[in-house]
Structure 1
Amino acid sequence: MRILRSLTDGIGFDLILIGAAMAFLMAMAGLPLVYNVLMSFQEVDMFSLGSLIRPWAGFDNYRSVVAQPEFWLVMKNTALFVVGSIAGQFTLGFALALFFHQNFPGSATIRGLFLVSWVMPGLVVGAIWSFILAGDYGVLNALLQGVGLISEPVFWKSDPNLSLYAVIIANIWLGLAFNMLLLSVGLAAIPRDIYEAAELDGATAWQRFRTITLPMMRSTIGAVLSLGLIGTLQQFDLFPAITEGGPANTSNVSQYWAWQMSFKLYDFARGATISVMMLVLVLFAAVIYVRSTRGEVRG
């Protein structure tokens, strides 16, 4: 009884909770991660997928992936997708955060409505934007034709020059509310007295933004950009719903390519290899995020 009581009270109970959380993370995340990394160095087919003992391939899978004719196109698309999505989400999210930071009737309610896009599943968002961007009956084409900006329908999803940007637009809309929410929290943490003192000294709105807002939100901005990079590199649902990586891989990115390798071509080794390559970038973004949050705590 005394041993049981010591485990369920104070530090002992805390250790039990921490141990249970660590066991859950190892089972749900750690083991699949190790299995995926291990598979990227082995020869894997349909019959050996469930086995840990398989022929060792070393770095042959990595060399094979880099030698694929679509490798550099997919990498370029991934870079464009990440940069375009993060730039759009952050810029528009910051603008909306600054707008809703002002005191006006209904600001909190309207800001809450923006969160609807964030809580919606990615496949649902993809289906909505697939309808909006449809060439023959899409809402976007109808709107642009109505105001006279285009004279004939634009096939956003099937045009090789536009398909990737169609997914970027959908992803910006999906992540906009998340950026706005985090940046709004950062803005709320800045004392208004500083702005009032600067305004009394004759500082313009741009000067206040440049000398007060940006420096005091440096850690928050770093955290938002890092989380945006992690989320964008993990974004998968929009691609099967909108373009399926086409036409001719012009909108294909690494995360969707890895899925195609594994579950369409059944090349599990190379699919795992692509995933490990992307894992390195995600870990890099995670390090930046941790450093940003540490700086925020210290500040």
Structure 2
Amino acid sequence: MKRLLSSVTDGKGFDILLVSLPLLFLLAFSGLPLLYNVLMSFQEVDIFSLGRLIRPFIGLDNYRELFAAPEFWPIMWNTMLFVVCSIAGQFTLGLALALFFDTGFRGSSFLRGLFLVSWVMPGLVVGAIWNWILSGDFGVLNYLLTSSGLISENIFWRSDVDYSLWAVVLANIWLGTSFNMILLSVGLAGIPKDLYEASELDGANILQRFSTITLPMMRSTIGAVISLGLIFTLQQFDLFAAITSGGPANSSNVAQYWAWELSFRQYDFAKGATVSTLMIITVMIAAVLYVRSTRHEVRI
């Protein structure tokens, strides 16, 4: 112990101190709550025993009851739709914007910075904005659709079981597109321009250059963007709380919002912890994929 303290004080072990302090912070504020949540998923927990660590151990009963719940599979389907459609929309629009700004026209850097405004805004603020946009009576989206003749009457996006989930998907795509654009712009900037010039001299058109140069050279960046998008989308809670509250009739309910409802509305803390544990496993898989993609990028 004295040797460790002396190495820190004389500067030789300062790197150990820099690493150990963040690790202790993560252990105290992330690791312990995570372990506590996982432990709750294997216990019988009520509002009276919530503050105790020693509670009846019931094994996998919480998981069995959760899988047997009638709303489990519809909510899991909603979660999958929300994640897949959000990531696909964010990535497609982000890549299109990244390619557009990569042309380097005058003012492109300023406009690219403006797109980041949506990313830095709190989710509840974004949800409030989209509440106005998606309003069934005086929303901007209904006005644009009816003015263009695409719909004949207003759609109540937030309260219609057929559209409520897609309302949150639209808001989440708008929220995450700029982040995808910035990451993909960094990947585009790392591609040597002489490759495009050589392929253009060989007679390759824009689609051929995109498929043979852009996509292969950005494979690791694309993997990182999709992995991060999966992590952020599975953590999205604010938009559901602000726009639909999981309704109507669970039509827009997803796993992350359902976990909150089970714990803080129904006071079924064990089931809420069980849903959260399943999400933790999914996020950890996405994190592993992200680390693998970035490691591949470093090797290149």
- TM-score relative to the length of structure 1: 0.97
Q: Is the 8 A contact 2:46 2:269 kept in 1?
A: yes
Amino acid of the structure 2 residue aligned with 1:81? F
Shift of 1:2: 9.9
Partner of 2:203: 202
Whole-Å separation in 2 of the counterparts to 1:99 and 1:27: 44
Does residue 297 (structure 1) correspond to residue 298 (structure 2)? The answer is yes
Whole-Å separation in 2 of the counterparts to 1:30 and 1:268: 19
Shift of 1:6: 3.4
Whole-Å separation in 2 of the counterparts to 1:76 and 1:248: 14
List gaps (5 residues or longer) in structure 2. Answer: none
Deviates more, 1:55-64 or 1:140-149: 140-149
Amino acid of the structure 1 residue aligned with 2:273? A
Amino acid of the structure 2 residue aligned with 1:274? V
Whole-Å separation in 1 of the counterparts to 2:81 and 2:187: 28
Partner of 2:43: 42
1:187–1:55 distance in 2 versus 1, CA, 3 Å: same
**Partner deviation per Cα, 1:161-206 (whole Å, 9 max, x = no partner):** 1110110000000000000000000000011111111111111111
- TM-score relative to the length of structure 2: 0.97
Q: Is the 8 A contact 2:223 2:293 kept in 1?
A: yes
Partner of 2:77: 76
Amino acid of the structure 1 residue aligned with 2:182? L
How large is the Cα RMSD of the aligned pairs?
A: 1.4
Shift of 1:4: 6.0
Q: How many residues align?
A: 299
Secondary structure of the structure 2 residue equivalent to 1:81: helix
Partner of 1:160: 161
Whole-Å separation in 2 of the counterparts to 1:263 and 1:197: 61
Whole-Å separation in 2 of the counterparts to 1:113 and 1:156: 28
Partner of 1:255: 256
Whole-Å separation in 1 of the counterparts to 2:262 and 2:85: 25
Amino acid of the structure 1 residue aligned with 2:244? T
Shift of 1:151: 2.3
Does residue 136 (structure 1) correspond to residue 137 (structure 2)? The answer is yes
Secondary structure of the structure 2 residue equivalent to 1:89: helix
Shift of 1:150: 2.2
List gaps (5 residues or longer) in structure 1. Answer: none
1:214–1:3 distance in 2 versus 1, CA, 3 Å: closer
Shift of 1:153: 1.1
Whole-Å separation in 2 of the counterparts to 1:8 and 1:275: 42
Shift of 1:145: 2.0
Partner of 2:274: 273
Percent identity between the aligned chains? 70
1:201–1:117 distance in 2 versus 1, CA, 3 Å: same
**Partner deviation per Cα, 1:56-82 (whole Å, 9 max, x = no partner):** 111000011111110010000000000
1:9–1:191 distance in 2 versus 1, CA, 3 Å: farther
Partner of 2:127: 126
Partner of 1:91: 92
Partner of 1:60: 61
Partner of 2:183: 182
Partner of 1:213: 214
Partner of 1:236: 237
Whole-Å separation in 1 of the counterparts to 2:244 and 2:210: 39
**Partner deviation per Cα, 1:187-230 (whole Å, 9 max, x = no partner):** 00011111111111111111111111111100000000000011
Whole-Å separation in 2 of the counterparts to 1:243 and 1:174: 16
Shift of 1:148: 2.6
Whole-Å separation in 2 of the counterparts to 1:247 and 1:121: 24
**Partner deviation per Cα, 1:11-56 (whole Å, 9 max, x = no partner):** 3111112111111010010000000000000011111101100011
Whole-Å separation in 2 of the counterparts to 1:91 and 1:276: 30
Partner of 1:285: 286
Q: Is the 8 A contact 2:4 2:13 kept in 1?
A: no
Whole-Å separation in 1 of the counterparts to 2:14 and 2:281: 36
Shift of 1:9: 4.0
Partner of 1:17: 18
Whole-Å separation in 2 of the counterparts to 1:8 and 1:205: 59
Secondary structure of the structure 1 residue equivalent to 2:12: helix
